[in-house]
Amino acid sequence: PSHPSLSKPPFSSPALALKGNNGSSTAQDEGHVDWAGSYRFAPISEAQVSRAMIKRYFSDMYDRAVSDIVIVGAGSAGLSCAYELAKRAPEKKITILEAGVAPGGGAWLGGQLMSAMVVRKPAHLFLLEIGVPFEDEGGYVVVRHAALFTSTLLSKVLSFPNVRLFNATAVEDLIVRPDPLDAGRQRVGGVVTNWTLVSLNHDTQSCMDPNTITAPVVVAATGHDGPMGAFCAKRLVSNGMIEKLGDMRCLDMMRAEPAIVNRTREVQPGLIMTGMELSEHDGSNRMGPTFGAMMASGVKAAHEALRVLER
């Protein structure tokens, strides 16, 4: 389906954004700032600031209540998936939900709070694709700072007009219905959301009901078990769709990375799983501080999502 909202131009050009209420422009507006003189801002009212945010946030929420693909979790796997999807399917509404205030998951650092990020070949092709420089060490490459990878990927993902990211928003549940294509089976048809600060207070306040986003494809990318992690995998168990979790096995880089990529798939109708959440679902090894599998798994999840959408 085509979505008219996707074809609208961006809100305003940078040049217009610098003009005052009356639209007048000055030398400073055109970018000639006299740094030795007095720096002047275009006038604005508090209400304009509030409305500028509210209008866009709630119009995005209104629009994305029906999405084509929802990605749960904006770590390295979820963001790699979002990039590939946004590039390959510019007409699809891709909505990313991230429980944390800061998207990026564990990919702001390499390992043990150190900066460098190791990526085994051939996953470095994704770094070439998004334009992140690296040092070539033969069978693997090293990005000087993991934050360069995450910030570059994030900026590219957010620049696509068909992507919306709602951070500080947790997925609290899945929408699951009888599968119209296969009687007797159930399929995932969207997610149940709440602002994360609300989710974290369900045991301190009386019922604070959630919101929903429907989508024919949901990509689970919530990482391995933790305060929030492996969310969709755990919910499949408590909903009776799988008997139990496989549980992430001990670290073995050689086994872990191909397992995650090769097992990236539609684990339940309408639900694709990628990244370290899969290790909990399937019981595969952890790989520790090497990130190539997250990129390759995310890209593969994007291809799986498009295949499911075409079905």
Beta bridge partners of 174: 191
Q: Does 174 bind ligand AHZ (CB under 6 A)?
A: no
Whole-angstrom distance, CA of residue 15 vs CA of residue 30: 7
Q: Which of these ranges, 2-10, 83-91, 134-142, 288-296, lies near ligand AHZ under the rule CB under 6 A?
A: 288-296
Distance CA 311, CA 306 (A): 9
Residue 2 or residue 146: which is nearer to ligand AHZ going by CB? 146
- Which residue of 231, 261, 299, 300 would you call a contact of ligand AHZ, by CB under 6 A? 231
Assess 249 for contact with ligand AHZ (CB under 6 A). no
Region label for 259, one of left (φ > 0), alpha (ψ between -120 and 50) or beta (otherwise): alpha
| Distances in whole angstroms, Cα of residue 134 to Cα of each of 114, 127, 141, 282 | 16, 8, 6, 32
CA atoms within 13 Å, Cβ hemisphere of 91: 6
Which lies closer to ligand AHZ via its Cβ, residue 171 or residue 296?
A: 171
3 is a site residue for ligand AHZ (CB under 6 A) = no
Q: Which of 69, 70, 71, 74 binds ligand AHZ (CB under 6 A)?
A: 74
User: Annotated binding residue at 30?
Assistant: no
Question: Could you say which residues in the range 76-105 bind ligand AHZ, by CB under 6 A?
Answer: 76-78, 97-100, 105
The set of residues, in sequence order, having a beta carbon less than 8 Å from that of 143 and lying 6+ positions away, is 116, 117, 119, 127, 132, 133, 134, 149
Pick from 70, 221, 295, 305 the residue near ligand AHZ by CB under 6 A.
Answer: 221
User: Is 276 known to sit in a ligand binding site?
Assistant: yes
Question: Does the annotation flag 136 for ligand binding?
Answer: no
Q: Which one, 78 or 269, has the nearer CB to ligand AHZ?
A: 78
Partnered with residue 98 across adjacent β-strands are 167
Residues of this chain, 43-72, that bind ligand AHZ according to CB under 6 A: 72
Interacting residues with ligand AHZ (CB under 6 A): 72-78, 97-100, 105-107, 170-171, 221-224, 228-229, 231, 275-277, 286-288, 291, 294
Binding residues for substrate, as ranges, are 77, 98-99, 106, 171, 209, 224, 276, 286-288
